Amino acid sequence: MRNHGRCEYLLRTRPVQIFRDADADVVEPPMTHTTNRRSGMRMRTSAALSGCIAAMMLALSASPAAQADDADVIRQAHDVGIANSDVNIISAGRSVCYVLRLGNRPPDEISGKIARTFVISQDQARQFSLVSANEWCPQWSGLFAD
């Protein structure tokens, strides 16, 4: 039984060779089910991939999108008193939601990190965190409210 499995392995991994019998007639090796096994695996992989894509499309269409407008966040950040570049403002704002999603930092610690990064007051950092949460993760915006 083990040798049979080994033969199948060799047939699958080595190029098919033409064997000659004792009479010097050309004899091709018998067809094995490895070809069907490969096409079946491709079919299952294709079906699984299609299923994953369909599930992602369904999830994306069903989930409510946050009304994130980068220009609005940048404007509100400048109103709060943050004078950093637009890229830094957006990156910091999205990192607020990322850390909240991880759930391993309290809101005061997140605002403190923003205050140290932008060299602003704790209140300005809290306001910026609130703006960011309102735009990118409204489910947590209440954590930074007064």
* Domain interval for residue 49: 2-62
Domain boundary among 13, 33, 62: 62
Note whether 45 and 102 are same-domain residues. no
d(CA 64, CA 96) in angstroms, rounded, equals 19
Note whether 58 and 109 are same-domain residues. no
The one-digit pLDDT tens for each residue of the chain (146 residues) are 455 555 555 555 555 544 454 555 555 555 555 555 566 667 677 666 665 565 555 555 444 444 457 899 999 999 999 999 999 999 999 999 999 999 889 999 999 999 999 999 999 999 999 999 999 999 988 888 76
State the total domains in the chain.
Answer: 2
d(CA 84, CA 94) in angstroms, rounded, equals 15
What are 40-45's contacts with CB under 8 Å, separation 24+? none
Note whether 32 and 53 are same-domain residues. yes
